[in-house]
Amino acid sequence: HVTGVQTCAIPICSAWKPFVYLTALEQGRTPDTEVIDEPVTINGWTPSNYEVGTYLGPITLQTALAKSVNTVAARLADEVGRPQVAQTARRVGIVSTVNTDPAMALGTTLVSPLEMTQAYAAFGNGGNRVQAYGIERIRQGGTVIYQKRPPAPVPAIANPALSELNQMMRTVMVAGTGGRAALPGYDLAGKTGTTSDYKDAWFCGYTGGFAACTWMG
């Protein structure tokens, strides 16, 4: 099941970062790959860490995603290639135009909650791209006059990158920025996002057969 509301395009902020990390994992990095959280400047642009407010020094990719470290995401996207990150996002369900300037790593692309829910669904369903739809069945009296037949699954993410990303997204919930969305007894994975001016806030997550994105702004 995919839940989401189709609205106008909105800056997605840090909820975009899983596409950066997935691209890195597919290129051979692991959750335990060590990176450095330190000041970085890319083409004249210098990101800062809004969530942690300081620099953490040597950390793993898993910690960087859990803590939503902007400097690491920006450098990582530059290393793996921002066009490659854009391709990853489109492969898993983003249909809006993806910008590839340095700040794209932090979620400057305008997307809808429905697109993000489609993409996060692929993280939780075994790596298959899905196409959201609104009507599943129509009955007239007791007769089914329309039944949606979902298309065959389209593989979009393979292991080990998929399982590694899921591990990292679970850590967001238990030791990172997603702690307030955790629910006792549920195996949840997800990512938060907040624009730098605090006008938009996101949470996208998944568990079992469900994926959902919430936006406030």
CA 15/CA 115 separation, integer angstroms: 12
pLDDT of the chain along its 217 residues, tens only? 454 444 456 766 899 999 999 999 999 999 999 999 999 999 999 998 876 668 999 999 999 999 999 999 999 999 999 999 999 999 999 999 999 999 999 999 999 999 999 999 999 999 999 988 889 999 999 999 999 998 888 999 999 999 999 999 999 999 999 999 999 999 999 999 987 677 889 999 999 889 999 999 8
CA 160/CA 163 separation, integer angstroms: 6
Q: Give pLDDT, residue 9.
A: 63
Q: Which of 54, 88, 60 is nearest to 162 (CA)?
A: 88
Q: Is 200 helix (H, G, I), strand (E, B) or coil?
A: coil
pTM: 0.91
CA 147/CA 154 separation, integer angstroms: 21
Amino acid at 138: I
Which residues, at least 6 apart from 148, have a Cβ–Cβ distance to it below 8 Å? 133, 135, 136, 137
DSSP code, position 23: H
**What is the H or E stretch that residue 194 is in?**
strand 189-194
